[in-house]
Amino acid sequence: MSGELEAERVAALAQIAALTRQFDEIVAASQASNADDEHDPEGATIAFERQQVAALLDQARRRLADVDAAVTAVEAGTYGRCETCGRPIGEERLAARPTARTCIDCAR
Ligand SMILES: [Zn+2]
């Protein structure tokens, strides 16, 4: 596995762990204050925060899925090749986004 993918994987896992902790804290806080009434302004804030963290968590999980897909591609020998047009993905793009699955033209 390339070092960049390994680093990206570690970062994604750390992000998921941090967000999961944050999510649990929000849930615990909402239970502690018994503020799950949506008409309660504090309850609405907590619901909003919970939604935000859930969305970030979704993103982080997708990020991890992208890393796993890239690792599979490395193993299959197709890493760095655009999934759409089959041409090589630019080195600059891969350096910026090691999990890129399409070339910059197809991504547009
Ligand atoms: Zn392409």
Same domain, 51 and 97: no
| CB atoms closer than 10 angstroms to residue 11 | 14
- What is the amino acid identity at position 93? R
* Residues 22-42, mean pLDDT to the nearest whole number: 77
Same domain, 73 and 38: yes
Confidence class for position 35, pLDDT limits 50, 70, 90: low
Structure-token pair, residue 10 = 């570690």
Measure the CA–CA gap between 86 and 103, rounded to whole angstroms.
9
Measure the CA–CA gap between 98 and 108, rounded to whole angstroms.
17
Cα(84) to ligand 1 centroid in Å equals 5
Measure the CA–CA gap between 60 and 44, rounded to whole angstroms.
24
* pLDDT tens column, 60-104: 999 999 999 999 999 999 999 999 999 999 999 998 889 999 999
Cα(6) to ligand 1 centroid in Å equals 24
Domain of residue 22, residue span: 2-77
Same domain, 73 and 87: no
Cβ–Cβ < 8 Å for 9, 64: yes
Same domain, 73 and 27: yes
Cα(57) to ligand 1 centroid in Å equals 28
pTM for the predicted model, two decimal places: 0.78
